[in-house]
Amino acid sequence: MNLSAIDPALLLASLMVAATPILIAAIGELVAERAGVLNLGVEGMMITGAIVGFAVTVETGSPAIGFLAAAAGGALLSFLFALLTQFALANQVASGLALTLFGLGLSALMGQNYVGIKPPRTESLNIPLLSDLPFFGTVVFSHDLMVYFGIALVAATWTVLKYSRIGLVLRAVGENHDAAHALGYKVVRIRIAAIMFGGACAGLGGAYISLVRVPQWTEGMTAGAGWIALALVVFASWKPWRVLLGAWIFGGVSVLQLNLQAAGLAIPAEYLSMSPYLITILVLVIMSADRSRAPASLGRIFHASG
């Protein structure tokens, strides 16, 4: 084993990259859950975003258009979930599972002709002075735009939820949909918007995996990232900044275990590959002591009677 082969600067830099997809997807899910909707379809929306983003990027040659298409694809898929849960008043857990199963099938079908292709490179930033800094240049200032977009998204979500009127209404809908309805807020419309925002974010996160993190297309390549994003929301107690912290921890674990595999640690690779999932469980156990933070109407069906 050769631990000295692991360069801390590169490790931290790849941590930022590994954290980005689950960060973006988790922020989207956080908004949906704050509006009182539990969407278990994140995995399905991510994998759909991954193939849509990949296919569009390969066809157009532009990662930017690819990411936009992935967001649109994720939002479109989540609209199916919105139809089911908001109009057909279906159980949210079952509908979310349906969305994941559907998304996995859909992506496999769409991706048949894209196996083994290399997508056009998503360019990294190269800021003249900052990127050349000894340590911070590698860690902080030489990523692609999506890494910064993810962090900006956290800040924006936090600001909107905390300080804006829209955020207040959204939280009201999530805490008590009957009261919000009585006050004249459009519960269903707000929830649909929140669900679709979540879908778009999941799509972006998925596309980041297939375009930057891996970068290629294989069936089922998100490998549970969507579920980890869901766990991240619980971990963060529905608070945006803690999602960022959580994403970095998970990103760190997955990068570290890959590095340890490469360094030839005596533990077999399969056991190291388990670690992100086991740590997710561990974190869930620690965090679930504090249940008070969950939006009060989370997962409940709203039907305006009369």
Partner 1 sequence: MLKLEKRPQPSRTLAYLTPVFAVVITMIAGGLLFAALGKNPVEAIRTIFWDPLFGEFAFYYRPQLLVKGGPLILIAIGLSLGFRAGIWNIGAEGQYIMGAIFGAAMGLAFYPTEAWYIFPLMIIAGAFGGWLWAMVPALLKVKFGTNEILVSLMLVYVAEQLLASMSLGLLKNPEGHGFPGSRNLKDYPAAFNDELITGTGMHGGVLTAFLAVIFAYILLNRHMLGFSIRLTGEAPRAARFAGVKPNRLIVFCLGMSGLLAGLAGMFEVSGPSGQVSIDFNTGYGFTAIIVAFLGRLHPIGILLAGLLMALTYIGGEIAQGNLGLPAAAIQLFQGMLLFFLLAVDLLTNYKIRISKRKVAK
Selected binder of partner 1 within 98, 180, 207, 212 (CB under 8 A):
98
- Residue 208 to residues 22, 63, 201, 249, 269: CA-CA distances in angstroms? 10, 10, 11, 18, 25
For 223, the 3-state DSSP assignment is coil
**Of 147 and 272, CB closest to partner 1:** 272
**Residue whose structure tokens are 């694809």:** 73
Q: Which of 52, 29, 3 is nearest to 247 (CA)?
A: 29
Asked whether position 267 contacts partner 1 by CB under 8 A, the answer is no
Nearer Cβ to partner 1, position 77 or 146? 77
Q: d(Cα 171, Cα 178) in Å, to the nearest integer?
A: 13
3-state secondary structure of 38: coil
Contact letters for partner 1, residues 15-54 (x by CB under 8 A) = -------------------------x--------------
Please identify which residue in 58, 90, 160, 214 interacts with partner 1, judged by CB under 8 A.
90
Q: Where are the alpha helices (DSSP H) in 2-62?
A: 8-34, 42-60
Q: Which one, 152 or 286, has the nearer CB to partner 1? A: 286
The answer to whether residue 284 forms part of the interface with partner 1 (CB under 8 A) is yes
Binds partner 1 by CB under 8 A, chosen from 3, 101, 130, 183: 101
80 binds partner 1 per the rule CB under 8 A: yes
Query: Closest Cα to residue 20, out of 192, 206, 287?
Result: 206
Decide if 259 contacts 11 (C-beta within 8 A).
yes
Q: Which stretch binds partner 1 (CB under 8 A): 3-11, 189-197, 207-215, 221-229?
A: 221-229
Distance CA 92, CA 76 (A): 17
Report the interface residues with partner 1, using CB under 8 A.
Answer: 40, 80, 83-84, 88-91, 93-95, 97-99, 101-106, 108-109, 111-112, 219, 223-224, 227, 230-231, 234, 268, 270-271, 273-274, 277-278, 280-281, 284-285, 288-289, 291, 303, 305
